[in-house]
Amino acid sequence: MEPFPSDQIQLPRNMIENSMFEEEPDVVDLAKEPCLHPLEPDEVEYEPRSSRLLVRGLGEHEMDDDEEDYESSAKLLGMSFMNRSSGLRNNMSIYRQNPNGSCSVPSTRTMVVCTVVLVIAVSLIMVIYLLPKCTFTKEGCHKKNHTMELIYPLATNGKIFPWAKIRLPPDVVPLHYDLVLQPNLTTLKFAGSVKIVVNIIQVTWKIILHSSGLNITKATITSAGGHQAKPVEFLEYPLHDQIAVMAPEALLVGQNYTVNIEYSSNLSDTYYGFYKISYKDENSKQRWFAATQFEPLAARSAFPCFDEPAFKATFLIKIKRDEKLSTLSNMPKKATTPVTNGIVQDEFFVSLKMSTYLVAFVVADLKNISKETNGSLVSVYAIPQHLNQVGYALNTAVKLLEFYEKYFLINYPLEKLDLVAIPDFQSGAMENWGLITFRETTLLFDSNTSSARDKKLITAVIAHELAHQWFGNLVTMEWWNDLWLNEGFATFMEYFAMEEIFPELHSDEDFLNLIFKAMMKDSLNSSRPVSSAVQSSEQIEEMFDALSYIKGASLLLMLKHYLTKDVFQAGIEVYLHNHNYGSAQSDDLWDSMNEITNGTLDVKKLMKTWILHKGFPLVTVVRKGKIISVQQEKFLYRAEPENWTTDESYLWHIPLTYITSSCNFTHCTNAYLLDQKSAVIELPEEVEWVKFNVDMNGYYIVHYAEDWKTLIHLLKKNHTALSPKDRANLINNIFNLASLGKESLEKAFELIDYLNKESSTAPLTQALFQLSLIYSLLEKKGEQQLAARVMHRIEHLLGDKIDQQHWTDDGTLSERELRSTLLAFACTHDMRNCRRTATEMFEKWMNSNGTMSLPSDVMKAIFTAGAKSSDGWEFLLKMYSSSVSEAEKSKMIEALASTEDVRKLIWLMQNSLEGEVIRAQELSHIIATVSQSLPGYLLAWDFVKENWEKLTRKFHLGSYTIQNIISSSTSQFATKTHLLEVKSFFESKSEESSQLRCVKEAIDTIQLNIQWMEKNLAKLQELL
């Protein structure tokens, strides 16, 4: 899945636990409840968030990882009974005092009670004395057949649900699904039935699978040899989206059974599962469209299934539909047969073995164009009025498919590949096998309104999703902890393929900027390792972040350069061949690479230091004559103990690369593996300068100590001695080191003084990014005069470059993209004559009633200037509603969100959330744009607070969209008041909200902003 580029309730747990003490739990003895289904050992765990039934029983149960859950349950039970006992004690006093102060003699009854209590107490003491010591240790006594208080959750009907873990049991595996669906685009509901052939791995009485929000009306089971379907009881446990099919007899090892379930549901009004979309056709008539988005956990809301990536199976899909509509699914259509008046059924060929999250279907009125390549028919589909915008995507997809087949030495295994533009889609795209779904802006290219940047975005997203047909679909990560195997690989291949096939797009520069942003996230305390343990739905959703995608991809880039491209490619081929149609873990990839390195390098040992540790290293370089000393430490913002170096877990194996003044071409790159805390490199001769991390191909930051002066001098004298990526790398590193306190801000400003001679996009973009961060913090802190001086410095460096830009679409793609960046920036900040020129062009366009053609590369700058006036804003909104170009509408939205009119900003955010005039898919981008402006940044945060429940219902807690909304609406804060407000807000929400990693990142970022201002405000006043 490609998250859309960001540029572009349960009770709190403590409340639930406290509620246990308000009412005694039911206690059921299994031995006295013959009606209950037999419970199998080792299938319960403490579930603190649900209603629960306490079950006391004996069973053979070895202590395992869930022991702490049981222990905490026992404590809860103990506390509950203690509360009851203490109540009795408070009401009992066997000696009563007379009014005169003497004690009366206790009654006979009282004496008997006391004697009994004393006997019980003595007995308990003796039992405790005689029990083995291990009884009172945390580990307990490891004996078979020992007694354990087991805790099972309750199903919706009040019966015991026989499974308490979030993960499904391994005793039953699916082999094949027969799925029949009938969506109704009038009632917006759907009916379905599914037959699942399962194989039994361990004897069991139950089949646990996933179901979410489905109204199940019937369930039966049939044995392999049997012809009669037997009705079965089914239990539902919505907290884990699970159902249990209770078999009438034991299910035997090695046997196949067929589970048949009939159900119905509503088409979803979120972006998950089988969901509905409304759009207007060519005649402005409202039409409906049904599509799917199952990754990561939503297949279960369209049909009952084993909804975990490792449970791969084949699928036969049949869809009943209105004969005026069309359907698409993963496989080619096999047959269409009439059902009743106006309703037909499409049957698709049986799929390859795949995970549930890759199943897909679309029901809509669509048109397409197609092209065949190497036995596969590639088609691009869109709603009829957009058919003239799909040509670029088709040609691009065919080129990329052919490239991947050659590179992987494995042909695309399906007979067809469909790419479908969906009118309302949360992420950028989704890699469903054979049926890739896209947001319209990431697939449709309009030659009149799509810019150079739009073309690059479309190419990148198609390249990403096609790479997934191998990485993710053919070989799938076993569990979501290794999501990077899917997303990191697809991101790496996306940029690699673009460099190979479309070098004129200079996509490597975009990747560089993404790596810089990923490192910002990875330098926080709240970061995580690339491969991280996850269980809950929120944790799984949060894995779709810059670390899985960008850090994962950059680690593969670093490995490719270290192993050499041929060895790396051979390792990939081994990995895909060894695990095709199966699942894999990170170690499987390293083992495949080791098959090729054949003992010359332990890739697993090297890469585990990167995959299993959060953060990245800071390498300090000190040069004396021919001797270079290198030392690594962890690059980390905020406090951590100074003596962290004693912790070997923070020792990376770093493939260092460097070039020197004696030979600075790419073929002269030197390599050195730093696998110790420090090392010494001896050069063959003395050199004028040395530059480490060539082209930023390594995931680390370099501090040059005294050599910064040398590099600053080199940039002023002869900046082209270093590549554009190396220059961008130096700018990024020195500003990060200044933020860390390792270098002075003065030196960082000195380094970028050469920029008036710079003409490459990468270093200019990086410098603008760093200076804009400083400007935004100062502006939002109320330091307007100082912020203006930062802008004056930018104008001094880049003013001539801005003046040289033409308001046309001429030049190379790289030149055109730089023009877009510089003019949009200049118009936003009213620099040079930019806003005046843009406003004049906007007024001409408005006077032509939008019929005049505008240069696509500068369209955003023109719209942004036009939206500053009330009339211009209203006209732009009118044109947005009638435009058929998604590329044009995207630029209009950004311009509308750039106004300084507070009422218009509030209306825009509210309207996007409602999804009527402006689609909800745009909301994240609107909030991010609103947050950038001085009047907007507080409004955006207020909007998020006031609409939190609606936002998390629409976009799901932890999703990429929610991550972006939280980040963009809080990242400008730099005061302790705002820090407290953000903390308090999320603490007042559910535990799931407050524990989100993106919330912790937001808090870390605000604290860093505060620190940065405290350290640098006075320095900036001197510098500027």
Cis-peptide into 183, omega within 30 deg: no
Element (H, E) at 877: helix 870-882
Residue 280 has pLDDT above 60, yes or no: yes
Judged by average pLDDT, the poorest of 181-185, 474-478, 639-643 is: 639-643
What are the tens digits of pLDDT across the range 861-900?
Answer: 999 999 999 999 999 999 999 998 999 999 999 999 999 9
What are the tens digits of pLDDT across the range 592-609?
Answer: 999 999 989 999 999 999
- What pLDDT shows up at residue 409? 96
Rounded Cα distance, 44 and 145, in Å: 16
Question: What rounded mean pLDDT belongs to the chain?
Answer: 87
Q: How many CB atoms lie within 10 A of CB 281?
A: 12
What SS3 state is found at 266? strand
Residue 1020 has pLDDT above 50, yes or no: yes
Pick the closest to residue 196 from 136, 240, 257 (CA basis).
Answer: 257
- What pLDDT shows up at residue 125? 58
**Which has more confidence, 506 or 300?**
300
Residue 21 has pLDDT above 60, yes or no: no
Judged by average pLDDT, the poorest of 204-208, 282-286, 577-581 is: 282-286
pLDDT above 70: percentage of residues in the chain: 84
Rounded Cα distance, 27 and 674, in Å: 60
Rounded Cα distance, 736 and 730, in Å: 10
Residue 4 has pLDDT above 90, yes or no: no
Q: DSSP letter at 548?
A: I
- What pLDDT shows up at residue 241? 97
Residue 19 has pLDDT above 70, yes or no: no
| Helix/strand/coil percent split, the chain, to 5 | 45, 20, 30
Alpha helical stretches, state H, 182-340 = none
Rounded Cα distance, 562 and 665, in Å: 17
Q: Which of the residues are catalytic? A: 465
Is the Cβ–Cβ distance between 831 and 802 less than 8 Å? yes
In the chain, what is the greatest distance between 2 CA atoms, to the nearest angstrom? 109
Query: Where are the strands (E) in 562-682, listed by range?
Result: 582-584, 616-624, 627-635, 654-660, 670-674, 678-682
pLDDT band at 141 (very low <50, low <70, confident <90, very high): very low
pLDDT band at 295 (very low <50, low <70, confident <90, very high): very high
- Beta-strand pair 367-373/376-382: antiparallel
Pick the closest to residue 517 from 821, 770, 727 (CA basis).
Answer: 770
Query: Span 124-133, mean pLDDT?
Result: 51
Query: Where are the strands (E) in 653-749, listed by range?
Result: 654-660, 670-674, 678-682, 690-692, 701-703
Alpha helical stretches, state H, 409-523 = 452-468, 483-501, 507-522
What are the tens digits of pLDDT across the range 713-755?
Answer: 999 999 999 999 999 999 999 999 999 999 999 999 999 999 9
Q: DSSP letter at 442?
A: G
Residues in a beta bridge with 222: 258
pLDDT band at 473 (very low <50, low <70, confident <90, very high): very high
Handedness of CA 836, 837, 840, 842 (dihedral sign): negative
Q: How many CB atoms lie within 10 A of CB 927?
A: 29
What are the tens digits of pLDDT across the range 763-811?
Answer: 999 999 999 999 999 999 999 999 999 999 999 999 999 999 999 999 9
Is the Cβ–Cβ distance between 555 and 530 less than 8 Å? yes
Residue 74 has pLDDT above 70, yes or no: no
Rounded Cα distance, 73 and 54, in Å: 9
What are the tens digits of pLDDT across the range 217-275?
Answer: 999 999 987 778 999 999 999 999 999 999 999 999 999 999 999 999 999 999 999 99
Rounded Cα distance, 147 and 774, in Å: 63
Residue 499 has pLDDT above 80, yes or no: yes
Query: Span 92-120, mean pLDDT?
Result: 52
Rounded Cα distance, 72 and 399, in Å: 58
pLDDT band at 950 (very low <50, low <70, confident <90, very high): very high
- What pLDDT shows up at residue 227? 79
What are the tens digits of pLDDT across the range 336-387?
Answer: 999 998 999 999 999 999 999 999 999 999 999 999 999 999 999 999 999 9
**Which has more confidence, 649 or 82?**
649
Rounded Cα distance, 602 and 762, in Å: 34
Rounded Cα distance, 425 and 1018, in Å: 47
Rounded Cα distance, 673 and 355, in Å: 39
Residue 11 has pLDDT above 60, yes or no: no
pLDDT band at 2 (very low <50, low <70, confident <90, very high): confident
- Say which residues have a Cβ less than 8 Å from residue 700's Cβ, sequence separation at least 6: 616, 617, 618, 619, 632, 635, 652, 654, 693
- What pLDDT shows up at residue 126? 52
- What pLDDT shows up at residue 637? 85
What are the tens digits of pLDDT across the range 412-436?
Answer: 999 999 999 999 999 999 999 999 9
Judged by average pLDDT, the poorest of 20-29, 131-140, 577-586, 1000-1009 is: 20-29
pLDDT band at 10 (very low <50, low <70, confident <90, very high): very low
Residue 95 has pLDDT above 80, yes or no: no
pLDDT above 90: percentage of residues in the chain: 79
- What pLDDT shows up at residue 774? 96
Is the Cβ–Cβ distance between 478 and 309 less than 8 Å? yes
Residue 104 has pLDDT above 50, yes or no: no
DSSP string, 379-422: EEEE-GGGGGG-HHHHHHHHHHHHHHHHHHTS---SSEEEEEEE
pLDDT band at 16 (very low <50, low <70, confident <90, very high): very low
- What pLDDT shows up at residue 80? 35
Judged by average pLDDT, the poorest of 485-499, 643-657, 846-860, 872-886 is: 643-657
